[in-house]
Copies of this chain bind each other. A is one copy, B any other.
Amino acid sequence: MKDTDPRSRIPALTDAILDKLDDCDAVDHVCTCPLPHRETVGELLTLTERLLFPGYFNRKAVDKANLRFHLGQTANDTYEMLTEEIAKCILHSRRNLSDPDPEGARAEAAAHALDLLESVPQLIEVLDGDVEAAYLGDPAATGNDEIIIGYPGFRAILTHRVAHHLHERSVPLLPRIMAEFAHSATGIDIHPGAHIGRNFFIDHGTGVVIGETTEIGDNVKLYQGVTLGALSFPTDEHGNLHRGFKRHPTIEDDVVIYSNASILGPVTIGRGSAVGGNVFLTHDVDPYSKVTIEKPDNRIRRHTPR
């Protein structure tokens, strides 16, 4: 053990860390332009949930008398928080410009926040269909309320519909952080770029991955562990990845994909099809098909009980 207080080493240590941070070329380890904080994004998503389903995510009861007040207050809080966080993201994306224009960024952020609030009625309608799809799709559901407050699949799609709205309008960074917040809470990883139709339900959900360029029609149901992923990533002559091209599946209307199935690449699963558990697919499937793994090739041996 040392003779002196180890804390006397901290100033020298701090200098060593500073030197090292200066050395880092490829990755900037120091973020001087504030980014949304993990917990703040969680709070923002809670506000959004309260706006879409008043009373379900509040500690105190909402009643008919205070509903208008509650909604107005929540809309106001959401507007302010959303403006602030989007502004951070815009400024961050412009941090290398000579004039990042903070005033302009804030006005742009406010417009995005207002636009999201204007879309709340439509989001309510779409989420309505998602709750119904969950109830109709799960024999263990005893009512809509347990779906709204408890189902991870519903939490993931609610977050996705908000994040996707912002992503479509080119809000940088925030949609992805929202998606990862939901991923952490639910085990369901939906890239905010994915297009998802109405009446969507993911049951159980842990391990589901839905890639950036996935397109999903109406009335689609997924189970836990389903991957809608990419197959390979073309690179340019310098070995850099192409980014942004279509590399994930298209799932047409009325498709069910059972647990742990993987569908990889820009293939199309035709409408009305069912993809069975554990199926591994890298090609198109005609409409109204049922794909299952061949009679699983299991080997069964008996042994004598000890």
Contacts and interface: CB of A to CB of B under 8 A. Distances in A.
| Size band of the interface chain A makes with B | 35 or more
A17 B71 contact: yes
B294 A230 contact: no
B293 A296 contact: yes
Interface in A209-266: 209, 211-212, 223-225, 227, 229-230, 233, 240-244, 247, 259-260, 262, 264
Contact of A244 (B76, B139, B301): B139
B27 A131 contact: yes
10 contacts: A24-B128, A36-B149, A142-B173, A152-B189, A189-B206, A260-B260, A260-B262, A279-B296, A287-B305, A292-B298
Contact of A140 (B28, B211, B289): B211
A241 B79 contact: no
A154 B171 CA distance: 23
B92 A7 contact: no
A107 B1 contact: yes
Contacts of A27: 128, 131-132, 144, 148
A13 B75 contact: yes
Given A121-B16, A177-B150, A289 B262 contact: no
Interface in A31-83: 31-40, 51-64, 67-68, 71-72, 75-76, 79
Contacts of A118: 9, 13, 16
A57 B75 contact: no
Given A225-B225, A299-B294, A206 B204 contact: no
Copies assembled:
3
Given A29-B52, A279-B296, 13 more contacts: A1-B110, A6-B113, A18-B68, A21-B124, A29-B128, A36-B149, A37-B57, A37-B58, A139-B233, A152-B189, A187-B207, A206-B209, A288-B305
A242 B6 CA distance: 39
A4 to B, nearest CB: 11
A81 B63 CA distance: 23
A173 B143 CA distance: 9
Q: Which 10 A-B pairs have the closest CB atoms?
A: A31-B55, A20-B121, A294-B297, A34-B61, A150-B180, A1-B107, A280-B296, A14-B72, A6-B114, A140-B212
Contact of A292 (B13, B292, B299): B299
Contacts of A177: 146, 149-150
A110 B6 contact: yes
A159 interface: no
A6 B139 contact: no
Interface string A274-293: 00011111000111111111
Contacts of A139: 212, 230, 233, 241-244, 247
